[in-house]
Amino acid sequence: MSPLEQLIIETINREGRITFEKFMDMALYEPGLGYYSTGKARVGRSGDFYTSSHLHPAFGLMLAKQVEEMWENMERPADFGVVEIGSGAGYLCLDMMTYLSGREIFPHMNYIIVERNPLQQQRQRELTDRFGDKVRWTASLAGVRGIYGCILSNELLDAFPVHVVCMKDKLEEVYVTFDGSSFREETGPLSTPALNEYFDDISVVLEKGYRTEVNLGIKDWLGEVEAALSRGYLLTVDYGYSSRDYYSEDRSRGTLLCYHRHELNEDPLALVGEQDITAHVNFSSLKKWGEESGLTAAGYCSQGMFLLSLGIDEEIKRLHSESGDYASELGRIKQLIMPQGLGESHMVMAQRKGDFRSGLSGFRMTNRLRYL
């Protein structure tokens, strides 16, 4: 039995059964023991999963173009900040800064990475060393204030710990306990009235037998974003749905998934601290809670349409004439934009604080805000 499992068992023995949300938080983030706190979280071919920034630098290039347009919309502030929360290995920062270093915006900008894991910080520093003090680090978003610019996240919110609920005669919550040999689930009364309020707010009534997740942490996170951002944009890329699709009949077992060495499973109580645990994002709640926090929704569409709107096809044309391995590069870019890859599963949302003279080109071809 691992030290993390022992700690969770001690917590259960001391406090009684714990919510799944607390179990997930410990499994992923317990200092020195959790999946994301020990350096075990690996992305890429030798890791547990891929993100868009690992597939091809064109992803970072397109986001850099969108950020550059944000700077233009804000009338080119002399001090423009890009804040990335949860940078992983740092590839998105590397690819964005590589492009922006040759642009007019570069002397006016700084890139701040929010990362609380010292080991991960060191990896990021080594990767982005060429940019010197243009890239800085902070352990939490609470240490960031007065940003004029863009706060962005790529596959961050799906790793927030979630409450798991199921509808019986009334809404109940899923808890985790220990039976002497293994972790197991049991249901009971809701740990917080906020769970009932959540479904009231989004006007969703669950059918009996329905099981799903609620990510309440997003609401507090949006408050932190609003406090850090004086004027500018929040750009979120993640896999998820609108409320209507998230809580449809087709998803009566929820969206909770686990990844270990590129293999998918649905058992979050196994491989504790050794696997990633995720749940899709409800972008309707992101929009609603954002508006309550002072962030106005500016655009929402699939990742594929977002990248096409920003001109990723022109990058494909350039690679056709310049790349020594065009077939391989094209295959990886296709995974970014095609429905069979990340093009439809991943969504992009922009929210703004302040009024700006123009819209954003990433939503030029389609904007699906009305579906949220």
Say how far apart CA 315 and CA 99 lie, in whole Å.
12
Torsion of CA 67, 63, 93, 297, to 10 degrees: 60
Mean pLDDT of the chain: 94
How many angstroms from the chain centroid is the CA of residue 349?
11
Average pLDDT over residues 62-81: 98
What tokens appear for 79 in the block? 């001090």
Could you tell me which of 138, 170, 176 has the C-alpha nearest to residue 25? 176
pLDDT of residue 117: 87
pLDDT of residue 119: 85
Residue type, 312: I
Percent of the chain with pLDDT over 70: 97
For 314-336, how does the pLDDT look when each residue is reduced to its tens digit (9 = 90+)? Answer: 999 998 998 889 999 999 999 99
pLDDT of residue 51: 80
> Is the per-residue pLDDT at 135 higher than 90?
yes
> Is the per-residue pLDDT at 151 higher than 90?
yes
> Is the per-residue pLDDT at 293 higher than 80?
yes
What tokens appear for 284 in the block? 């309707």
Average pLDDT over residues 135-147: 95
Paired sense of beta strands 296-302 and 257-260, if any:
unpaired
